[in-house]
Chain A
Amino acid sequence: MNARETRDPCSPRGAGDFCLSCVLTSGLLVAAVVASFAYLEIDFSALFAADSATAMARFAASFFPPDLAPDFLQKTAHGALQTFAVAMIGTLLAALAGLLLALPASGRHGIAAGRLSRFLLNLLRSVPELVWATLMVLAAGLGPFAGVLALALHTTGVLGRLFAEAIENAPPQPEQSLREAGSGGVNAFLYGTQPLVWPQCVAYGLYRLEMNIRMAAVLGFVGAGGLGQMLYYHLSIFQQAQAATVLIAMFVLVLAVDALSDRLRTRMARS
């Protein structure tokens, strides 16, 4: 057996071969990173200067100890509940609307309906939650309702696209065979395709719920209620102790929901 034959048969060329496009791409990437630093005038030395470090330490220390007075704790708990509810309802509404838009978007109801719903989903998704929240505060007034609408609108775009892809990628035979046995479209979908995509769709929904809990906390900054609104209020009047309590509540809420959804997802994957 000669040397040519002992070469790795899977690579068309040896590893030592010169790859022009690889070198060019990495060169361009490095140039882009360097140019970005220069353009933004980022100066890391200021971050590590002595006086800024002491200023940061003083600011951080002002958050301690957090305000643990019972009536404020109760207020915080109420805010946390509101944030949780905003995220839950927003995600649930988005899952329903997303499913309704995903069916035409997966190309099941003709090309025109598919294009239209895809356009709609892209539109909903491309506007960030914060922008939706600002618009919704104008439309629905200050408070949690605006937060729910903002989350629902953006998440519909995201979940709708994910659901549509799941439906599109599911094998068509189960549903097709039911149609060939005389079943109507809705039932053929429910018995043929739905069991195939359901676990994936629920996992997407739970994942999105985790993200929306964090988002719902931030949305309060533009007046959409919950922990975010409390945080914004207390920070703006320099009540760092109260702000610290709210931050801890956010942290606990996010941890709890992440753990819960993690558990649900692993249980679903097992069964």
Chain B
Amino acid sequence: MAFELQGVGLTHGNGFRALQRISIRLGRGERAAVIGPSGAGKTSLIRLLGVATRPSEGRLNILGRNPWQLPAGELRRLRARIGTIHQAPPIPPRLRVITAILAGRLGQWPAWKALLSLLYPVDIAGAQATLARFDLADRLFDRCDRLSGGQLQRIGIARVFYQEPDLILADEPVSALDPALADAALGELVAESERRGASLFASLHAVDLALKWFPRIVGLRAGEVAFDLPTAEVSNGLLHELYAAEGSVLPTQASAPAALRHGGATAEAMAESGDGTLAANVVRLDTCRGR
């Protein structure tokens, strides 16, 4: 078993209930995607599973351990077995690509090896092999601030591959990639999970990608599990109900992204206010910005 949540809830310091009554179980080597409108609690859920935040209530079991009752050393060893791919890759811009990737194994390396690797990379071949799977092998010694957002996001995935965790968590792992690359990157994620028998739990914004690559879909809405079904049983009606608050169009790779829809809404509002005062105000606020 990769993880098991029973009646888990999370209340933030400001009293906002991000998650409640969450009960999910993921078997070893199993793959599942979590989808839902923005603000549904997808990131909070991933952070709970990554032992980054502590649940306010409920029972949490990750890779057979209860992380919040472990002594510090055990907790570190458990965390080294969990790899989280973040939506915004948390990589310092001045770091070289190779160092950013090798950092994936800091949890397994003894301290002296990590120190040594800062002076001279200790596993060039390993990092290169990982990077080759993302067509980025030629960028191995570039600095990360020389890369595009999409390239950096793939470096973030490569770091977690290099870590070789038993449980791969991914928080919108392909949000900065164009459709073709996003598809390829998810394919690599699934292949990695199959190859090493690692469990994979990913939150995705694009519904079509989730349906294509994952055998099981968890729908999250307003901090609660709306459905948890094999992909074949996820109907169009269920999906539309899940995204009811975001309008009639499901967010997918192919359809227009959210930003475009917002743009349309603004244009409509401006057209509606006949005398043009609203339009004038919008322009004025924009000119004030940055002062």
Contacts and interface: CB of A to CB of B under 8 A. Distances in A.
B250 interface: no
Contacts of A5: 280
Contacts of A182: 76-82, 106-108
B106 A178 contact: yes
A190 interface: yes
Interface string A196-210: 101100000000000
Contact of B111 (A9, A187, A196): A187
B111 A177 contact: no
A141 interface: no
24 contacts: A5-B280, A9-B284, A173-B86, A174-B90, A174-B92, A180-B50, A180-B52, A180-B84, A181-B83, A181-B106, A182-B79, A182-B107, A184-B106, A184-B111, A187-B109, A190-B118, A191-B95, A191-B103, A191-B106, A191-B114, A191-B118, A192-B90, A195-B92, A196-B94
Nearest to A184: B111
In the complex, the 6 A-B pairs of residues with the closest C-beta atoms, listed nearest first: A182-B107, A182-B80, A183-B106, A182-B79, A195-B92, A173-B90
B99 interface: yes
A196 B144 CA distance: 12
A184 B76 contact: yes
B226 interface: no
A176 B103 CA distance: 13
Q: Could you say which interface size class chain A belongs to?
A: 20 to 34
Interface string A98-130: 000000000000000000000000000000000
Contacts of A250: none
**Secondary structure of the A side of the interface?**
helix
Interface in B106-144: 106-109, 111, 114-115, 118
Given A182-B77, A184-B106, A191 B99 contact: yes
B92 A187 contact: no
B195 interface: no
B79 A181 contact: yes
Contacts, number: 87
A178 B103 contact: yes
A125 B118 CA distance: 32
Contacts of B245: none
A188 B90 contact: no
B97 to A, nearest CB: 13
Contact of B106 (A10, A176, A188, A193): A188
A10 B107 contact: no
A177 B84 contact: yes
B80 A181 contact: yes
A10 B288 contact: yes
B291 interface: yes
Contacts of B222: none
Nearest to A192: B92
A199 B92 CA distance: 12
B287 interface: yes
